[in-house]
Amino acid sequence: MDIKDKKDKDVKKKPVPKKERVSIGEYLRGVKTEIKKVVWPTRKELGSFTAVVIIACTFFSLLFAAVDYSVLAALRVVLGISL
């Protein structure tokens, strides 16, 4: 008998409780209940959130482009590559 086998026998594993199966109708009723709890943004909030996302995407795309251009320029100088 191996030590590992002995340890496995000594350790009692907790039984995993079975999940109850839910019918499709019950699932959809639960979804409907949860959707009612959602607080939807107003039209003004949605516009401001959209503006923030567009500005952030623009900022990061310009930042990544600048870093990419800088690394490429540095590699061209170091490696003596001209395109």
Q: Is 40 helix (H, G, I), strand (E, B) or coil?
A: coil
pLDDT at residue 39 in the model? 94
Q: Which residue has the tokens 């109850």?
A: 20
How far out from the chain centre does Cα 35 lie? Answer: 21
How many residues appear in the chain? 83
**Domain segments of the chain: what residues?**
41-83
pLDDT at residue 18 in the model? 76
Q: Are 80 and 73 in contact (CB under 8 A)?
A: no
In this predicted model, what pLDDT tens digit does every residue of 34-79 receive, in sequence order? 999 999 999 999 999 999 999 999 999 999 999 999 999 999 999 9
